[in-house]
Structure 1
């Protein structure tokens, strides 16, 4: 079934590019290197708020990682989204937790919760495109009840325990790991869970954050959608879309497309689902080769940006680690007075 899905999605995308092949070159020249570079930077920077939102959730659950450890876990696990199947990022977070002496279910649960809040914020930002979308088809009004239903976990944080319990069952982790931490914990011991805001997995490994943290993280995630969605607006304006529609539909449509990609669990990095929704929303602004060029170029820029960001961050951390090791190794012995 998975192989069939790959063939269908890749075949559909390939057919769309073949259908407008005569206009692709002209559309790419119309975009130009400058606009493509600006769009690529915006797409890459848009992922930064997601890191801070995830780290805020993790800290609220009781784990405070150092900057280096948090960057390594987040960006290394982020690369696994390009593997087939949607569970690998959560598995990668859990695997990283063992070396840090933290409960695997807590890191995996923080990632799953951040994805859930990303869906809520993405639907909210998607409302920017609603006026243009409903003018083309009234079915887009369905976004309003979907968003209302998605907001329920923010009003009742305990409902997020369902997502976290799902991560627990997938990972089969019922208790914290036995591996001792490499460094003694620096944070004070957590107080007992408060009734009404505590909902942990079977191993009592973490406490869900309260409404205030959830709302703040949702706002941070929304900022990420606004920044990353701007790369669509840049490309759309370069291809001839009106600036007003390009900004609202570009940002909102990209957020909706990315949310659809999150639910495309079989395909790596939401391949197919994201392109389909992005094409449907931007069809109100562009058509033909311009639309296909934008959708394809967006996928390329996001993939290159995410890969380059991860490689740069992990390479910088490795270089800093080697530099620190050389400094410690060449430190002269201290003489006693």
Structure 2
């Protein structure tokens, strides 16, 4: 980044604000789809929440991912979910499955789209397709059973069925499409046309890399470096860097925006509950 900074600054001067606004809208859509995938998994575990309530729990909890370590979103969502009758064990299981679905679908999306973009050979990418079997109930039962033993808890009595996993994977696919489109829009905003396939592959592969780099908040650093490296295969380095920096900023703004909206909604709900209680007295 330092070596390319002069060129990056020139690229930033050519920024097209309307495309950046479009990219932000696509990020918001992607995060909404991500929340709906989590909600579907939670419902499959026996805890059904209305969409506004699920959104509040999910997005406020997601603010914890900006702290070092991976435990904070789990803790926050468990505490918030408890207020709505969600057992902490179900919250833990939902987050575990949520990350699993993202990792599996992200790996498959990365393999297929990078092959489409000509970055990796098709025979190599096709090896990822059997990974869909990892979303079947039997591997998931093993995953959650293993997790329960690690934290010394009894096994889960109810697990998501095939229909639940199909629904969660569909929402995850919608999320990857929105995120790919936002990155393509960001690249176009900096006058660096890139195929949607390359944008999708770069984003999904970089997300997986950031997820595996546990010590960094929200995969900071590892994800960005991986994304720049992959995008640089098809576009110049300066616009690739500018687009990735813009993407990171937009994702953070969207996280904070959704999270603050959830906090405000929660406070209004609490105030309404107090007002109703006062009227009954």
- TM-score w.r.t. structure 1 length? 0.75
- 1:97 to 1:259, Cα distance in 2 relative to 1, 3 A: same
Deviations 1:149-194 (A, max 9, x none): x22223x41211333235435554x2xxxxxxxxxxxxxxxxxxxx
1:141 CA displacement: 5.4
1:259 CA displacement: 2.3
1:235 CA displacement: 1.4
Provide the residue aligned with 2:228 in structure 1: 279
1:321 CA displacement: 3.5
1:328 CA displacement: 5.4
Provide the residue aligned with 1:162 in structure 2: 142
Aligned equivalents of 2:236 and 2:172: distance in 1?
Answer: 30
Aligned ranges 1:185-334 → 2 under 5 Å: 202-204=154-156, 206-242=157-193, 245-323=194-272, 325-326=274-275, 329-330=278-279
Aligned equivalents of 1:69 and 1:171: distance in 2?
Answer: 27
Provide the residue aligned with 2:115 in structure 1: 130
Deviations 1:69-109 (A, max 9, x none): 42232112111111111232223333334444443121111
Deviations 1:196-233 (A, max 9, x none): xxxxxx254x4112222212210111001101221110
- 1:47 to 1:141, Cα distance in 2 relative to 1, 3 A: farther
- 1:277 to 1:227, Cα distance in 2 relative to 1, 3 A: same
Tell me the number of residue pairs that the alignment of Structure 1 and Structure 2 aligns: 280
Contact 1:56 1:217 in 2 (8 A): yes
Provide the residue aligned with 1:40 in structure 2: 24
Aligned equivalents of 1:257 and 1:147: distance in 2?
Answer: 19
Can you give the 5+ residue segments of structure 2 that lack an aligned partner in the other structure?
A: none
Contact 2:190 2:239 in 1 (8 A): yes
| Among 126, 141, 144, the residue aligned to 2:126 | 144
Q: Aligned-pair RMSD on alpha carbons?
A: 2.4
- 1:268 to 1:143, Cα distance in 2 relative to 1, 3 A: farther
- 1:72 to 1:171, Cα distance in 2 relative to 1, 3 A: farther
Is 1:28 the counterpart of 2:18? The answer is no
Aligned equivalents of 2:72 and 2:54: distance in 1?
Answer: 18
Aligned equivalents of 1:324 and 1:97: distance in 2?
Answer: 17
Aligned equivalents of 1:130 and 1:299: distance in 2?
Answer: 25
Aligned equivalents of 2:85 and 2:265: distance in 1?
Answer: 23
Deviations 1:251-271 (A, max 9, x none): 232122222222221211011
Aligned equivalents of 2:213 and 2:241: distance in 1?
Answer: 20
1:110 CA displacement: 1.0
Can you give the 5+ residue segments of structure 1 that lack an aligned partner in the other structure?
A: 1-15, 175-201
| SS of residue paired to 1:31 | coil
Aligned ranges 1:83-94 → 2 under 5 Å: 83-94=67-78
Deviations 1:254-303 (A, max 9, x none): 12222222222121101122112211221122223212111111111111
Which of the pair has more CA radius of gyration?
Answer: 1
| SS of residue paired to 2:127 | helix
Contact 2:192 2:239 in 1 (8 A): no
